C-alpha cells in the first residue's frame, strides 16, 4: 500500500520568514511523481509544485522549493518570504500508475500553515 | 478558460436517501477524478473516468458510483446515504490523467447527511 505521512498537523510562521513542511512517503514503485497542493480557506485545491522521481534536481517555483531525498523517501516543501496569502492547508501527494492508462493520487493528511503578520 | 465547476456547492440530505453530484471539467479535458475529503480520513480517491470509461476505482463500497458523458462531464451518485458520507467531494480534471499534466480541482460539493 502507498502511504504519505505529514507529521506536522499545524505550523505557523512570521510573515517574510521561511518555513519548511515535512513529508515522507512509502511506495515500492520506482516511477512516481510527487506534488504539493495548497488548499486555502476557499477550499479550491491548487498545485504548488511537482517533482518527477527520476529527476535528481529539486524542483523550484518562485518562493517554493522542495528537498527531494529519494532514498529516504522524503519530500519537504520550503516556502521562502512567507506571505499572508500562503495561509492554507498544504497536502503532500504522490502519483503512481495504477493500470489501464490511469494514474492515482495518494494524499497525506495535510499541514495547516498560518502566516502571522 | 473556465475552470472546473461542481454543482451543487452545498447539499443536505437525510440518511437513506441518494444524491447525485455533478462535475464539469475544463474544456478539452477528458479525465475526471473524484475524491472524498473528511477531517478523519483526509483526501481519498473515489474513481477516475476517461472518455466515458471508468479506468480506476478506489476502496469505496458499491453505494458510490459514477459515470461520464460524451462531453466529459461527470456525475457521481451515492445511494443509501450514511452519516459517514458527510464530506467535501472534490473532482479534478486533466487532459489525459497522466502526471505530465496538471490536475485542476473544482471548488467541491459539501454534502451533509443528517
The number of CA neighbours under 13 Å toward the Cβ of B110 is 7
**Which chain A residues contact residue B102 at CB under 8 A?**
47, 50
- The pLDDT of residue B105 is 95
How far is residue A7 from each of residues A77, A96, A117, B73, measured CA to CA in Å?
13, 22, 25, 37
Q: Contact B103/A47 with Cβ under 8 angstroms?
A: yes
* Total length of chain A: 117
Q: How many helices (H) and strands (E) does chain B have?
A: 0, 11
> Which among B56, B92, B107 has CB closest to A98?
B56
A4-40 pLDDT, tens digit per residue, is 999 999 999 999 999 999 999 999 888 899 999 999 9
Average pLDDT over residues A76-86: 97
- Find the residue in B nearest to A41 (Cα): B107
> Which among B48, B105, B106 has CB closest to A102?
B48
- The pLDDT of residue A29 is 87
Report the C-alpha dihedral over residues B75, B80, B85, B88, rounded to 10 degrees. Answer: 30
Residue position matching grid coordinates 500500500: A1
Residue position matching grid coordinates 490511469: A102
Taking an 8 Å cut-off on Cβ atoms, the answer to whether A102 and B56 are in contact is yes
Query: Does residue B1 carry a pLDDT above 90?
Result: no
Burial A69-98 (b: 16+ CB within 10 A, else e): eeeebebbbbbeebeeebbbbbbbbbbbeb
Q: Contact A79/A63 with Cβ under 8 angstroms?
A: yes
- Can you tell me the distance from the alpha carbon of B79 to that of B20, in angstroms, rounded to the nearest whole number? 9
- Find the residue in A nearest to B106 (Cα): A44
Taking an 8 Å cut-off on Cβ atoms, the answer to whether A108 and B33 are in contact is no
Average pLDDT of every residue of chain B: 95
Query: Does residue A43 carry a pLDDT above 80?
Result: no
Contact map slice: A 53-92 vs B, CB within 8 A = 91
Chain B interface residues (partner A, CB cutoff 8 A): 33, 35, 42-45, 48, 50, 55-56, 58, 88, 90, 92, 96-99, 102-103, 105-108
> Confidence class of residue B100 from pLDDT cuts 50, 70 and 90?
confident
**Which chain B residues contact residue A47 at CB under 8 A?**
102-103
Amino acid at each position: 500500500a502507498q502511504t504519505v505521512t505529514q507529521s506536522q498537523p499545524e505550523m505557523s510562521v512570521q510573515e517574510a520568514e521561511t518555513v519548511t513542511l515535512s513529508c515522507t512517503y512509502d511506495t515500492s514503485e520506482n516511477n512516481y511523481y510527487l506534488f504539493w497542493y495548497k488548499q486555502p480557506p476557499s477550499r479550491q485545491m491548487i498545485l504548488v509544485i511537482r517533482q518527477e522521481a527520476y529527476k535528481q534536481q529539486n524542483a523550484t517555483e518562485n518562493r517554493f522549493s522542495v528537498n527531494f531525498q529519494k532514498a529516504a523517501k522524503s519530500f519537504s516543501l520550503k516556502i521562502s518570504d512567507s506571505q499572508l496569502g500562503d495561509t492554507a492547508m498544504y497536502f503532500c501527494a504522490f502519483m503512481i500508475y495504477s493500470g489501464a492508462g490511469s494514474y492515482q493520487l495518494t494524499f497525506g493528511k495535510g499541514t495547516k500553515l498560518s502566516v502571522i503578520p | 478558460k473556465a475552470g472546473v465547476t461542481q454543482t451543487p456547492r452545498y447539499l443536505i440530505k437525510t440518511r437513506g436517501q441518494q444524491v447525485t453530484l455533478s462535475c464539469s471539467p475544463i474544456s478539452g479535458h477528458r479525465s475526471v477524478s473524484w475524491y472524498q475529503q473528511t477531517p478523519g480520513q483526509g483526501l481519498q480517491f473515489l474513481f477516475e473516468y476517461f472518455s466515458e470509461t471508468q479506468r480506476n476505482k478506489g476502496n469505496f463500497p458499491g453505494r458510490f458510483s459514477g459515470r461520464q458523458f460524451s462531453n466529459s462531464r461527470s456525475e457521481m451518485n451515492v445511494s443509501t446515504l450514511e452519516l459517514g458520507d458527510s464530506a467535501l467531494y472534490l473532482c479534478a480534471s486533466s487532459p489525459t490523467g497522466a502526471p505530465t499534466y496538471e490536475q485542476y480541482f473544482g471548488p467541491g460539493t459539501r454534502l451533509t447527511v443528517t
